[in-house]
């Protein structure tokens, strides 16, 4: 995380409550330390795709998040405040600071990933939140994860009253996967926080060779 440096006094406030608003399966939020923690990883018959942000190459067919102003979301490199998925730096040590993540960069409180060809499974990992609006605690935030079908129809959502460990040092115990499974197609996923200072990682998508089996 780039912006804040202070550690919040209130630790371990994440996930005070979870609400899923969908008839469609929305796996998560679930702990996530490596790609093996994805609920999609063990599903038979899936063509899996993942962007860990560890290389300069982005996934074809994915439109990455943008912001309305001149400042844009960006990829963070290795830094004491970077919060990648833990195993991306080659060491499952509870820290993601030596990996790379995708950062809202003070530009937007919404990160949206869109798929040119609708997928059957999609998800991402929320890894950190830092500064909040004046008067709000640093390092914790409510979260809304939403998914959209072909044509942009809302498929459903997961909401958390509070996510975050109150720290901005790249620790990974708080990291959570949010996903959606929809045989009829997912055209976009997005995550919204009460902050423009947060990181995500492991944008995941998958296609089922047998759509009916993905339900």
Using CB positions, name the residue nearest to Ca ion.
Answer: 84
For residue 37, state whether it binds Ca ion (rule: CB under 5 A).
no
Place of tokens 């067919």: 61
Element (H, E) at 21: strand 18-21
Can you name the residues that pair with 107 across neighbouring β-strands? none
Nearest-approach distance from CB 129 to Ca ion, in angstroms: 9
For residue 199, state whether it binds Ca ion (rule: CB under 5 A).
no
Q: Which residue, 18 or 22, has its beta carbon nearer to Ca ion?
A: 18
Residues from 112 through 131 that contact Ca ion (CB under 5 A): 127-128
For Ca ion, which residue of 91, 116, 153, 154 counts as binding (CB under 5 A)? 91
For Ca ion, which residue of 28, 65, 73, 99 counts as binding (CB under 5 A)? 99
For Ca ion, which residue of 24, 52, 109, 205 counts as binding (CB under 5 A)? 52
For residue 14, state whether it binds Ca ion (rule: CB under 5 A).
no
For residue 38, state whether it binds Ca ion (rule: CB under 5 A).
no
Nearest-approach distance from CB 79 to Ca ion, in angstroms: 12
Q: Which residue, 84 or 195, has its beta carbon nearer to Ca ion?
A: 84
- Output the CA–CA distances (angstroms, integers) from residue 173 to 169, 185, 188, 198, in the order listed: 12, 31, 27, 16
d(CA 213, CA 185): 13
- Output the CA–CA distances (angstroms, integers) from residue 82 to 54, 125, 207, in the order listed: 12, 14, 30
3-state secondary structure of 150: helix
Residues 6+ apart with CB under 8 A from 46: 40, 120, 121, 206, 207, 208, 209, 214
Q: Which residue, 25 or 54, has its beta carbon nearer to Ca ion?
A: 54
d(CA 14, CA 161): 8
For residue 146, state whether it binds Ca ion (rule: CB under 5 A).
no
Positions that interact with Ca ion (CB under 5 A): 52-53, 83-84, 86, 88-89, 91, 93, 95, 99-100, 127-128, 174-175, 201
């Amino acid at each position: 995380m780039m912006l804040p440096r202070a550690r919040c006094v209130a630790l371990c406030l994440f996930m005070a409550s979870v609400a899923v608003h969908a008839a469609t399966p929305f796996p998560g939020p679930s702990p996530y330390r490596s790609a093996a923690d994805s609920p999609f990883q063990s599903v038979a018959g899936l063509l899996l795709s993942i962007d860990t942000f560890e290389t300069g190459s982005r996934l074809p067919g994915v439109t990455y998040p943008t912001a309305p102003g001149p400042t844009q979301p960006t990829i963070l490199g290795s830094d004491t405040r970077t919060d990648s998925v833990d195993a991306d730096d080659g060491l499952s040590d509870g820290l993601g600071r030596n990996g790379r993540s995708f950062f809202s960069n003070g530009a937007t409180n919404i990160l949206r990933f869109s798929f040119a060809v609708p997928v059957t499974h999609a998800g991402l990992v929320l890894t950190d939140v830092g500064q909040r609006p004046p008067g709000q605690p640093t390092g914790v935030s409510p979260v809304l994860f939403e998914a959209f079908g072909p044509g942009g129809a809302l498929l459903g959502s997961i909401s958390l009253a509070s996510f975050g460990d109150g720290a901005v040092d790249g620790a990974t115990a708080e990291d959570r996967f949010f996903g959606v499974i929809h045989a009829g197609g997912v055209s976009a996923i997005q995550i919204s926080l009460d902050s423009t200072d947060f990181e995500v990682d492991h944008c995941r998508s998958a296609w089922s060779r047998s759509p009916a089996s993905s339900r």
